[in-house]
């Protein structure tokens, strides 16, 4: 097997996927049967600039170089060779946000990420104009807020894009975007596979009196569906990714995608009537629809799969960051005790113990709200842990309450979808939260009242998903649709564990949720006080 893998790498019969997540940039190399051959990573954190969450673009480039170098080092250690070429390459990243550039390609202001919630007035104006939900984090909301605020850079904008789109452009010279990522910039018409022409016209009419020197359509990247060629790695791009000079140019690249789309791919949930949930720094729950929802719901985003099907997305700004901080305290405690346990071992111990706690959290309340949570109508927030005097304050209940809180906002959104007649028999889950087998999966099943499936690839998430989309770029010549390709070529023999919701524990979660929602004013008050 090592010799066979070495031959695959030497001949370039592999696909590379790189995804820029909120706290980690990951590079994954897969073979022709989609197995992971090697991976590399780089940790990073967002920073607050002028009151807004951001990442610097030099940090982006440094991060992808480090993640790629880590991957190469692993390959050299395992197989004794240095890779120079790949059959395909794909870039994925956090969706939404605001990256604006002038005619020369110079960045006009710091990157405003999805995490910022300062776009309320703009989003509401756009919702009223389009009759379509525009979330606070969407690129068009950020652009329009800058227009409303008459920010000086607005007159000089020549293009806007997402993080994945910018990295892809640096590597290929092509200003394009996968349709899933594009659907978080501006509403998409799934029939045409492009930005909604009626809404483009409506936006231009909305701002006509401002006499802006651009039309919004000209600012946006070109939309491409999965399997469409999106350029190739240029010599400059190869050197940017691999400053050692070993990487060769000319590698075909698939359309850059957002983390929501790669999450759908990683869980085989791009077919209609399927659903998936991705849990990391934020939480995405997505249901692929047969048609758009009949009614407007500002809590539900309408985006698309990487091949253009409409998707109802429930997005929570806050995911696992708060529980990660709790676990970090226990890692520190283990060291103070003079013991040697790896970080994953501490996670496993705490998570498994959480299942011994009470199914309603024992009266404990946890809020993982490091930032505002639009679906709960909270503009600003701080994390909060609280309980009544008679609550059962145990370690198991405390960690269980933290896990339960991660799924509370998406449960609110799922209740809205159920009221619209949307039903799911099975939800596919992925992301680091599910690496400890059966724990978060069990709590999620009871929170939503839906059976939850976690596959072997669940912990790999979007980096593996974009590598698979890179492989599909090559395979599409055979004529398969993306759902067909995933079913027959990628997931045909994948093992998965399914946990069904239990009625008694679902009722217990309902009790927790009722307390959680009733005490939300305390979160708002704490935010204002602090």
Q: What CATH number does the domain containing 515 carry?
A: 3.30.420.40
- The answer to whether residue 246 is domain-embedded is no
State whether 189 and 261 are in the same domain: no
State whether 295 and 373 are in the same domain: yes
**Nearest-CA neighbor of 312 among 350, 285, 341, 349?**
285
- The answer to whether residue 154 is domain-embedded is yes
Both tokens of 511, joined, read 């009790």
Residue indicated by tokens 């910039």:
185
Report DSSP letters for 15-57, one per residue. EEEEEE-SSEEEEEEE-TT--EEEEEEEE---EEETTEEE--H
**Nearest-CA neighbor of 280 among 166, 397, 114, 59?**
114
- The answer to whether residue 244 is domain-embedded is no
pTM beyond cutoff 0.85: no
- The answer to whether residue 251 is domain-embedded is no
State whether 225 and 102 are in the same domain: yes
Q: Is the separation of the CB atoms in 260 and 284 below 8 Å?
A: yes
State whether 185 and 312 are in the same domain: no
Distance between the two ends of the chain, CA-based, in angstroms? 57
**Nearest-CA neighbor of 383 among 391, 373, 374, 393?**
373
State whether 269 and 410 are in the same domain: yes
- The answer to whether residue 505 is domain-embedded is yes
**Phi/psi zone of residue 195: left (φ > 0), alpha (ψ -120 to 50 degrees), beta?**
beta
State whether 340 and 440 are in the same domain: yes
State whether 219 and 283 are in the same domain: no
Q: CB-based contacts of 151: which residues, under 8 Å, 6+ apart?
A: 109
Looking at residue 59, which CATH number applies to its domain? Answer: 3.30.70
The neighbouring-strand residues paired with 454 are 429, 497
Domain edge (last residue) among 32, 65, 86: 86
Domain edge (last residue) among 213, 230, 247: 230
Both tokens of 402, joined, read 């933290």
Average confidence (pLDDT) per 10 residues, the chain, 530 residues: 87 97 95 94 94 96 98 96 97 96 97 93 97 94 98 98 98 98 95 96 97 97 97 98 98 96 88 84 87 84 91 91 95 94 95 97 95 87 93 97 97 93 83 90 96 72 93 83 92 86 97 96 90
State whether 352 and 479 are in the same domain: yes
- The answer to whether residue 403 is domain-embedded is yes
Q: What's the order of all strands across the beta sheet hosting 310-316?
A: 301-304, 310-316, 283-288, 275-279, 426-430, 451-455, 496-499
State whether 408 and 498 are in the same domain: yes
Task: State the total domains in the chain.
Answer: 3
Strand duo 24-30 + 36-43: pairing: antiparallel
Residue indicated by tokens 């409303």:
148
State whether 266 and 308 are in the same domain: yes
Please report the pLDDT score of residue 408 as a whole number: 97
Domain edge (last residue) among 86, 103, 120: 86
State whether 23 and 105 are in the same domain: no
- The answer to whether residue 250 is domain-embedded is no
- The answer to whether residue 52 is domain-embedded is yes
State whether 277 and 408 are in the same domain: yes
**Nearest-CA neighbor of 167 among 58, 34, 328, 75?**
58
- Owning domain of residue 345: 256-530
The neighbouring-strand residues paired with 195 are 188
């Amino acid at each position: 097997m090592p010799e066979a893998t070495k031959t695959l790498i030497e001949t370039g019969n592999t696909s590379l996927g790189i995804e820029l997540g909120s706290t980690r940039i990951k590079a994954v190399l897969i073979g022709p049967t989609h197995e992971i051959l090697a991976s590399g990573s780089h940790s990073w954190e967002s920073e607050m600039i002028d009151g807004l969450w951001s990442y610097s673009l030099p940090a982006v480039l440094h991060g992808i170089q480090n993640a790629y170098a880590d991957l190469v080092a692993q390959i050299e250690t395992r197989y004794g060779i240095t890779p120079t070429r790949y059959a395909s390459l794909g870039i994925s990243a956090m969706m939404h946000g605001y990256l604006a550039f002038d005619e020369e390609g110079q960045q006009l202001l710091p990157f405003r990420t999805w995490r910022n919630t300062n776009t309320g007035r703009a989003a509401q104006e756009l919702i009223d104009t389009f009759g379509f939900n525009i979330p606070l984090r969407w690129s068009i909301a950020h652009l329009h807020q800058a227009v409303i605020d008459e920010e000086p850079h607005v007159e000089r904008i020549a293009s806007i894009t997402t993080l994945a789109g910018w990295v892809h452009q640096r590597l290929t010279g092509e200003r394009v975007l996968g349709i899933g990522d594009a659907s978080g910039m501006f509403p998409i018409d799934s029939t045409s596979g492009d930005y909604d022409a009626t809404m483009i016209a409506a936006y231009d009419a909305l701002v006509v009196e401002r006499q802006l020197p651009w039309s919004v359509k000209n600012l946006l990247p070109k939309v491409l569906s999965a399997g469409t060629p999106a350029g190739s790695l240029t010599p400059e791009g190869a050197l940017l990714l691999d400053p050692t000079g070993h990487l060769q140019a000319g590698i075909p690249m698939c359309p850059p995608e957002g983390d929501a789309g790669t999450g759908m791919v990683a869980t085989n949930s791009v077919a209609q009537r399927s659903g998936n949930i991705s849990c990391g720094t934020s939480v995405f729950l997505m249901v692929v629809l047969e048609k758009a929802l009949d009614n407007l719901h500002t809590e539900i985003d309408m985006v698309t799969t990487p091949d253009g099907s409409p998707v109802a997305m429930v997005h929570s700004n806050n995911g696992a960051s708060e529980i990660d901080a709790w676990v970090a305290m226990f890692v520190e405690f283990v060291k103070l005790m003079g013991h040697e346990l790896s970080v994953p071992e501490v996670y496993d111990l705490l998570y498994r113990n959480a299942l011994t706690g009470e199914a309603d959290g024992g009266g404990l309340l946890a809020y993982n709200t490091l930032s505002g949570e639009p679906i709960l109508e909270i503009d600003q927030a701080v994390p909060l842990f609280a309980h009544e005097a008679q609550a059962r304050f145990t370690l198991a209940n405390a960690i269980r309450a933290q896990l339960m809180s991660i799924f509370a906002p998406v449960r609110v959104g799922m209740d809205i979808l159920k009221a619209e007649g949307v039903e799911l028999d099975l939800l596919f889950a992925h992301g680091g939260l599910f690496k400890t087998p059966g724990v978060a999966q069990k709590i999620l099943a009871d929170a939503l009242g839906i059976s939850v499936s976690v596959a072997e690839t669940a912990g790999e998430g979007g980096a593996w998903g974009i590598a698979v989309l890179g492989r599909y770029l090559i395979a599409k010549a055979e004529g398969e649709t993306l759902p067909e390709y995933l079913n027959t070529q990628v997931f045909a023999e994948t093992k998965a564990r399914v946990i069904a919701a239990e009625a008694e524990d679902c009722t217990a979660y309902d009790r927790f949720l009722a307390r959680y929602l009733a005490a939300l004013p305390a979160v708002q008050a704490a935010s204002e006080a602090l």
